[in-house]
Amino acid sequence: MSAQKNIASLNLVPALILLFSMLFTLIACNPDNSTAAETAMDTLTRSEEAKPKEPGKNAGDLAKEKATTLVVQFKGFSMGDQPHYLFTDKSGKEWDFVENQDTSIAFSLQLPQKKATERNQGFASNKSLEGKWFSIQYGFSMQPQHETERMANMPVIIKATAVQ
């Protein structure tokens, strides 16, 4: 009987060795247990960090310095796959921003919970601002694209000022 137990335990040894070697390989290749997307973002971040920067300025300051300003009319806000702050400029070109970093102007309003739906996700356009003109300072921020979830430079509002 003990000979049969020894044979049975020997059959498990190769399986256990294989299991532990696979586990070791997974841990060694991904030491911080990050997902593939996190690893890709880390690579992007490190490549951005490798670029020379002006001393004493962080990435947010540099993005604001590179911002572009335009005068646009607010058309509305909607929540779909992501937030959409919709504007039109004087030539008729439509602008769709995915984020408003300026907390002094609320282009979108949070709705009471009872008015929240799957479509509006609890947010609505600020109707009192629709049709009004604004000077928008905007830049770009790495955000997931709604179709592919890949990271892309998407337009974001940095500063908005009402134009008379």
Per-residue pLDDT of the chain (164 residues; tens, 9 = 90+): 555 555 555 566 666 566 556 545 555 555 555 444 444 444 344 434 434 334 444 444 545 556 789 999 999 999 887 899 999 999 999 999 999 999 999 999 999 999 988 888 889 999 999 999 999 999 988 877 766 778 888 899 999 999 98
What per-residue confidence (pLDDT) applies to 6?
Answer: 55
Phi, psi values for residue 102, rounded to 5°: -85, 110
pTM beyond 0.85, yes or no: no
Asked if residue 155 lies in contact with residue 100, where contact means CB atoms within 8 angstroms, the answer is no
DSSP 77: E
What per-residue confidence (pLDDT) applies to 46?
Answer: 40
